[in-house]
């Protein structure tokens, strides 16, 4: 067993080097980083889109309101992440600039899929360029545009998928099972929030309270991102 491990070690020194069985080991390590990250749930509801995430307070002296885990890309598009949040910040800032440039150039809001592809293009470049490392983060991007309500998940390789409901980060298998069982297309944003809080409470039972939750939604009529206040979150707890 030991000689095999030693042999594989040589193939994780550079991002551009494939192992004999066709794997990019640095990319796989980045995916493991995501699975250790804070839990984030995305959902398409009957009246909008919803993102709910665990703030993961590392110290009781940290001000909970100062921790932001859901970011506005444009009025009608928002994002959250699991993994290395500083990596996510760089990607989201690039997406924000792209969205602003699109409005200035075309006087029209950008499509959600255009933002997703832009982020994934940068992620993919970092899997084939020497001297770089992959972004150790997965993003959930939710928005409402001319094509309707849309939710995408991107992974460190630059692949993206469209979902009706999905989860990334810590406790992914358990929450995914809950979503498969209880999620319905007819759910309202309030119904979705109730399900997300229930799932987080089950997986993150230790010291779980409203301070740990960051939640935001985009209503189908207004198409503007809004944060869900702590008072409302406490009702669902």
pLDDT tens-digit readout, 116-165: 999 999 999 999 888 889 999 999 999 999 999 999 999 999 999 999 99
Q: Domain containing 107: what range?
A: 2-236
Give phi and psi for 45, each to the nearest 5: -110, 175
Buried b (16+ CB within 10 A) or exposed e, 147-170: eebbbbbbbbbbebeebbbbbbbb
User: Could you read off the pLDDT of 161-178 as tens digits, one per residue?
Assistant: 999 999 999 999 999 999
CB atoms within 10 A of CB 127: 19
Report DSSP state, residue 154.
Answer: E
- 49 and 149 in contact (C-beta within 8 Å)? yes
List the CATH number of the domain containing 63: 3.60.20.10
Q: What is the pLDDT of residues 175-221, one digit of tens each?
A: 999 999 999 999 999 999 999 999 999 888 767 888 889 999 999 99
pLDDT (tens digit per residue) in 27-83:
999 999 999 999 999 999 999 999 999 998 878 888 888 889 999 999 999 999 999
Cα–Cα distance, 7 to 19 (Å, whole number): 10
Number of structural domains (the chain) is: 1
């Amino acid at each position: 067993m030991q000689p095999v491990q030693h042999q594989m070690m040589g193939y994780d020194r550079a991002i551009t080097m494939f192992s004999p069985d066709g794997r990019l080991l640095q990319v796989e390590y980045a995916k493991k980083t995501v699975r250790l990250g804070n839990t984030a749930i995305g959902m398409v509801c009957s009246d909008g889109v919803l993102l709910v995430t665990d703030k993961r307070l590392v110290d009781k002296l940290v001000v909970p309101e100062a921790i932001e885990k859901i970011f506005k890309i444009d009025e009608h598009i928002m994002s959250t992440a699991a993994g290395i949040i500083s990596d996510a910040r760089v990607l989201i800032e690039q997406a924000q600039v792209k969205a602003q440039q699109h409005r200035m150039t075309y006087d029209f809001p950008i499509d959600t899929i255009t933002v997703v592809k832009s982020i994934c293009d940068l992620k993919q470049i970092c899997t084939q360029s020497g001297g770089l490392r992959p972004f150790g983060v997965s993003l959930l991007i939710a928005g409402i545009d001319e094509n309707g309500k849309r939710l995408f998940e991107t992974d460190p390789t630059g692949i993206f998928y469209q979902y009706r409901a999905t989860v990334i980060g810590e406790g992914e298998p358990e929450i995914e099972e809950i979503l498969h069982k209880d999620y319905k297309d007819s759910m309202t944003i309030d119904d979705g929030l109730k399900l997300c809080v229930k799932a987080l409470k089950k997986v993150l039972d230790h010291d779980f309270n409203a301070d740990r939750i960051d939640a935001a939604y985009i209503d189908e009529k207004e198409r503007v991102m809004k944060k869900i206040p702590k008072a409302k979150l406490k009702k669902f707890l």
